[in-house]
Amino acid sequence: MNILYFLIGCSVLLALIFLIAFFWAMKNGQNDDTYTPGVRILFDDDIPNENNK
């Protein structure tokens, strides 16, 4: 029964760590730009070289 208390304590601690990490990411602007990642795949990264024509 003691191990059950230990596992519950560990899971609560882990949940608090994830919650703190989430709020830290939101405070630092991790999710400010919601438009660009959706259209980034449409952009062509390769610039054609005029010497290869």
Compute the distance between CA of residue 53 and CA of residue 48 in angstroms, rounded to an integer. 9
Per-residue model confidence (pLDDT) at position 47: 67
Compute the distance between CA of residue 2 and CA of residue 8 in angstroms, rounded to an integer. 10
Per-residue model confidence (pLDDT) at position 53: 55
**Contact partners, residue 25, CB within 8 Å, separation at least 6:** 31
Q: What is the pLDDT along the chain (53 residues), one digit of tens a residue?
A: 999 999 999 999 999 999 999 999 988 887 777 777 778 777 776 666 666 55
**Residue 25 near residue 31, CB atoms below 8 Å:** yes
Per-residue model confidence (pLDDT) at position 36: 77
